[in-house]
Copies of this chain bind each other. A is one copy, B any other.
């Protein structure tokens, strides 16, 4: 009988769970929705899925711990705090503090550890992916929102309070787009999947050119639609990704000035569109770097299967 752990990647849309063995192999996995508007409903679904996975692997080994990657999480306190992108994280219309590890371990009877979802992805990438062997890198997750995990000298940066690495909320445009976090002009409002859709809506309104995107209801346009149109050579869609890459590059240049990483690793759904924003990103980053760093910082994309890095990273927490 082996020792096993469960790694969970909590996202704004869905949560992915996997049972992982000591070799880092995912033995069983499943996905549940994260769109519940009530915390108890979400926790019931989650603990149900955990119990199913435990039942499915009970002949292989025993699940000794659970590691979770979730937005706005605090490694030190086991909490999720003021997460704007989790529908079940609100009380009376305001994001609140949830004692997540305490609640969940109470329901499943197994120790639970939590960290920022991007930290978990960084740990997965460092153990099994493109950042293997790297001591200094920054992980940027481009999904529903924009998250980050910072590794310095081979260690995750948690900061004084456990909340370090909220690079999705650095200001990229003074008095820019309103962000769910309450601030304006956050990187996330431009370069997340939602941000790309906002750029599409803005550009469709301000630009007169024809575009495949005009066939769609502007309110329902997604980053996937922009990707599909770019694939067919749609000029406006290519411009949207070019703009996205340019803003990412500006932000990345400032991240380099902080921790001088060997590489910045991009992860998440938006990475699929890399061929359409990578060139603009690299140019813009180098245009905004001093001589000591120009053309020296690698931009890498996660090599792990989309959900695996986060599940594996979260599982690494549990060991």
Q: How many copies does the complex hold?
A: 2
Query: CB-CB contacts of A146-168 with B at 8 A, as 1s and 0s?
Result: 00001011010111111111110
Query: CB-CB contacts of A292-311 with B at 8 A, as 1s and 0s?
Result: 11001000000000000000
Interface membership of A136, Cβ < 8 A: yes
Interface membership of A39, Cβ < 8 A: no
A254: B residues at CB distance < 8 A: 170-171, 254
A296: B residues at CB distance < 8 A: 161
Interface membership of A23, Cβ < 8 A: no
Query: CB-CB contacts of A161-181 with B at 8 A, as 1s and 0s?
Result: 111111101110010000001
Interface membership of A250, Cβ < 8 A: yes
Interchain CB contact (< 8 A) of A150 among B82, B166, B258 = B258
Interface membership of A27, Cβ < 8 A: no
A61 to B85, CA, bound (A): 63
A166: B residues at CB distance < 8 A: 257, 260, 290
Interchain CB contact (< 8 A) of A260 among B153, B164, B260, B288 = B164
A72: B residues at CB distance < 8 A: 292
Task: Write the nearest CB–CB distance from A72 to chain B, whole angstroms.
Answer: 8
A69: B residues at CB distance < 8 A: none
Given contacts A150-B258, A255-B258, A257-B170, contact A290 B181 (CB under 8 A): yes
Within 8 A of B (CB), among A260-309: 260-262, 288-293, 296
Given contacts A153-B155, A155-B153, contact A160 B135 (CB under 8 A): yes
Task: Write the nearest CB–CB distance from A93 to chain B, whole angstroms.
Answer: 14
User: Are the CB atoms of A158 and B260 closer together than 8 Å?
Assistant: yes
Interface membership of A6, Cβ < 8 A: no
Interface membership of A259, Cβ < 8 A: yes
User: Are the CB atoms of A260 and B159 closer together than 8 Å?
Assistant: yes
A residues at B contact (CB < 8 Å): 72, 81-82, 95, 135-136, 150, 152-153, 155, 157-167, 169-171, 174, 181-183, 250, 253-255, 257-262, 288-293, 296
10 A-B pairs with the lowest CB-CB distances in the bound complex, closest first: A159-B260, A164-B260, A160-B262, A136-B160, A166-B257, A170-B254, A181-B290, A163-B260, A82-B291, A164-B259
